[in-house]
Amino acid sequence: MFNKKKYIILFSTSAALLVIFLIVNNFTNPMNTSKNKQDNNYPENILMKDINPDSIKKAYFSGGSFWCVEKDFEKLEGVQEAISGYMGGEQQNPTYENHADHRESVEVIYNSEILSYENLVQYLFRHIDPTDPDGSFHDRGNAYTSAIYPMTDLEEKIAKTVLAELDTNGTFPIPIATKIERDAKFWIAEDYHQDYYKKNPIRYNGYRFASGRDKYIKSIWGDREDFELSTSWENFQKPSDSELKNQLSEIALSTI
């Protein structure tokens, strides 16, 4: 015979145990992204056992909204993590509400046995508008301008070489405005900004489409994915106007 009272007790107990399990798992799971990104030792939390710790390096970039830059780098093979933050200003402990003198930036943690620093710099230029001195796409102001933050003489040399090559080979219609600034301090952004594209996919995708970022990238590079990690840009050929028109029409149709 069905005993309603016993059923309620059993259901309540099971529900309580499930809640306790989820809470404990959230705080103990080493792959919990939110926790990792707020932990001062977060690089150690994300290393796989079969990766040589000495091969894990960090690189720092700005390219407009850190939501977008973080997402783009995290899809690149060899990148272990991309972390949103602020760089380039004088203010201490900047926040999202008060970081006007800093740029939205990302710290890229990568496996140097798979990717070189040159690869990362090339990849950055492949996913931003480096010609805009006053912002990025529909985000305006210094906080959204682009920059590279080398931490060594070699990184600075590589960044300047890639930038100069792109600035003279006709890839972009106007001069590059991306800054190169040495030894800037990285301030990690608030937890709700980390992996924003995963936590809020509908809002993120709507924001990204409306910003014009992907449309611009398509207009410069077309579908030339094979050039993302090229060791040289000398053989790059910008798509013809007819090719770009067809590609942009496909983007518009895919959003209807």
d(CA 104, CA 63): 8
Residue at 67 is within a domain: yes
Residue at 44 is within a domain: no
Residue at 135 is within a domain: yes
193-209 per-position pLDDT tens digit:
999 999 999 999 999 99
Query: How far is C-alpha 180 from the geometric centre of its chain's CA atoms?
Result: 18
Q: Which of 88, 85, 114, 117 is nearest to 101 (CA)?
A: 88
Residue at 23 is within a domain: no
* Cβ-Cβ contacts under 8 Å for 212 (sequence gap 6 or more): 137, 138
Residue at 167 is within a domain: yes
Structure token pair of residue 6:
């016993």
Range of the domain at 240: 51-254
CATH of the domain at 168: 3.30.1060.10
Q: Which of 185, 159, 189, 177 is nearest to 89 (CA)?
A: 185
Alpha helices in 66-200 (DSSP H): 66-74, 117-125, 153-168, 196-199
Average pLDDT score, the chain: 78
Residue at 9 is within a domain: no
- Specify whether the CB–CB gap between 137 and 213 falls below 8 A: yes
Residue at 6 is within a domain: no
Neighbours of 235 (CB within 10 A): 8
Residue at 72 is within a domain: yes
Place of tokens 């910003």: 211
114-161 per-position pLDDT tens digit:
999 999 999 999 999 999 999 999 999 999 999 999 999 999 999 999
pLDDT band at 224 (very low <50, low <70, confident <90, very high): low
Give the count of domains, the chain: 1
Structure token pair of residue 184:
């800037």
